[in-house]
Amino acid sequence: MIIEFAAADAATSGSGLRLVARFVPQGELPADADVLVRGAAAAARFTGKAGQLFEALVPAGDGVQRLAFAGIGEPGAAGRTATLERAGGGLTAKYLTSGETELAIDFAGSGLSAEEAAAVLLAARLRAWRHDVYRTKLSDEQKPSLAKIVVLGAPEGTEAVWETEAAIAEGVEFTRELVTEPANVIYPASFVERCKARLEGTGIEIVVLGLAEMTALGMGALLGVAQGSVREPKIIAMRWKGKAGARPTAFVGKGVTFDTGGISIKPAAGMEDMKWDMGGAAAVAGTMLALAKRKAQADVIGVCGLVENMPDGNAQRPGDVVTSMSGQTVEVINTDAEGRLVLCDAVTWVQKECSPATIVDLATLTGAIIISLGHEHAGMFANDDLLAGQLDAAGKASGDKLWRMPIGPAYDKLIDSPIADIKNVGPRYGGSITAAQFIQRFVDKGVAWAHLDIAGTVWVDKPGATHDKGATGFGVRLLDRYVRDVLEA
């Protein structure tokens, strides 16, 4: 989706714009609108409430113009950003396959600030994202036609704000692309290559570890997961040094590019969804792209542990004991609890190599978190109250919402093993908590750490304000907001 800024009077200057949208605060129909249009809007009970849309045809030269009103609710109401995103995304959803190729958004009279206008544009662009690469039989009516948004009457400063938001959009779209691609297209090596291609020229430093390097480092936990697949595992580390001096912050993502469950194989029904078990790694990659594109003033490392979990004759067995890079031994009770095995070695590696002050890991880790929180929030576990508060605030500001969950010694003892230092699963209850406890055992003393279980938020079966059904890009906006509010403050 192209976003282009134009002169404020373009809608009435004979420029040929066929579709113009205006944003209407609740109870404030535009005074300069045609009296018949105002009457029609009133007759249709359009009042500018959040989420309302109204369309009319008005004369324009020798033809007609489609005029749309989008309600943005009361100016001082709570949840303002979410309301504006509904308006921007709603316009895109309505006209994406309408046959119109261009939508003019006229901010005149909306009363919005530059930041609020940019929020509308971000939602409009994100809602337009689709992945139709493999759909060869779409009719013309099904194909997206809307390719450009022309911005009219933008509040002062909107273009500058949009430059930053456009970088965020690019990061979210990249994450969605990685998550949506099938597992025969995105696997550890191709994930790395796609990241290299997208990050080329951004200034990000990239380090890639293959099987030989990880074997030499003693990453027995990660390698144990990968040994049942013909796909070689990888770790990709991406560093953006936008600021020197302080210890870096690390974002670590689980990248299981397909998860059969291994020997503890999953049921067949729904297993195709496990192509997005690398959603945490995709969010990290998208975040790094966004930070580099907007030239963030922060030192951030993104690390993705990439494996495929398959059940062949060489796959690890329930009951096997592996030695992690940290030296801790793990009894593998369930081979479908593989993500924590990948994360523990990735976390150990980034601590040894980069000595970060803070680590935030993201993982589609447990079905238990979906049972607890549904698809509205990701679960957050943290060893540091300040970090937890900062991430919670970033989630509320960005729309990638979090809910803090408990951790503690009572849960920790549930993963003690009788024959090794730790086992990779606890009892049936508290599954998302014991998974977090597992990862915490590999976090060095003094490092602020948070684990985000995003299993319920990376993929959805119904459209939202900023996304269609499918990949949401969850995590990119959250991490970027955290960087803005904490690391760049």
270-296 per-position pLDDT tens digit: 999 999 999 999 999 999 999 999 999
Topology given in CATH for the domain delimited by 2-156:
Leucine Aminopeptidase, subunit E; domain 1 (3.40.220)
Task: Classify each residue of 401-439 as buried b or exposed e, where b means 16 or more C-beta atoms within 10 Å of its C-beta.
Answer: bbebbebeeebbebbeeeebbbbbbbeeebbbbbbbbbb
Q: Give, rounded to a whole angstrom, the gap between the first and last alpha carbons of the chain.
A: 31
Q: What is the pLDDT of residue 39?
A: 93
The answer to whether the beta carbons of residues 251 and 302 sit under 8 Å apart is: yes
Q: How far is CA 119 from CA 16, 113, 124, 167, in A?
A: 26, 10, 9, 13
Q: How far is CA 489 from CA 218, 245, 298, 390, 481, in A?
A: 38, 15, 10, 12, 11
Tell me the residue type at 122: L
Q: How far apart are CA 410 and CA 425, in angstroms?
A: 15
Q: What is the mean pLDDT of each run of 10 residues along the chain (489 residues)?
A: 82 66 92 91 94 91 89 87 95 96 93 95 98 96 96 96 97 98 98 98 98 98 98 98 92 98 97 98 98 98 98 97 98 98 98 98 98 97 98 97 97 97 96 98 98 98 96 98 97
Structure tokens at 347: 């976390």
CATH architecture, domain 166-487: 3-Layer(aba) Sandwich (3.40)
Largest CA distance in the chain: 83
> Hey, how many other C-beta atoms are within 10 angstroms of the C-beta on 448?
19
Residues marked active site are found at 266, 340
Q: How far apart are CA 473 and CA 287, in angstroms?
A: 10
Q: What is the pLDDT of residue 32?
A: 87
**Domain spans in the chain, listed from the N-terminal domain onward:** 2-156, 166-487
Angle at 471 between CA 468 and CA 473, to 5 degrees: 105
Q: What are phi and psi of 296, to 5 degrees?
A: -60, 140
Task: Classify each residue of 298-320 as buried b or exposed e, where b means 16 or more C-beta atoms within 10 Å of its C-beta.
Answer: bbbbbbbbbbbbbbeeebbeeeb
Q: What is the pLDDT of residue 245?
A: 79
Q: What is the pLDDT of residue 197?
A: 98
Q: What is the pLDDT of residue 16?
A: 64
Whether pTM > 0.85 for this model: the answer is yes
Q: 82: burial class by Cβ within 10 Å (0-12, 13-18, 19+)?
A: middle
pLDDT, one tens digit per residue, over 8-51 is 665 554 456 789 999 999 999 988 888 999 999 999 999 999 99
Structure tokens at 353: 């190599």
- Positive or negative, the CA dihedral 270, 275, 281, 282 is negative
Q: Which residues lie below 8 Å from residue 283, measured CB to CB, with a gap of 6+?
A: 175, 253, 362, 454, 458, 473, 474, 475, 476, 479
Angle at 124 between CA 283 and CA 79, to 5 degrees: 80
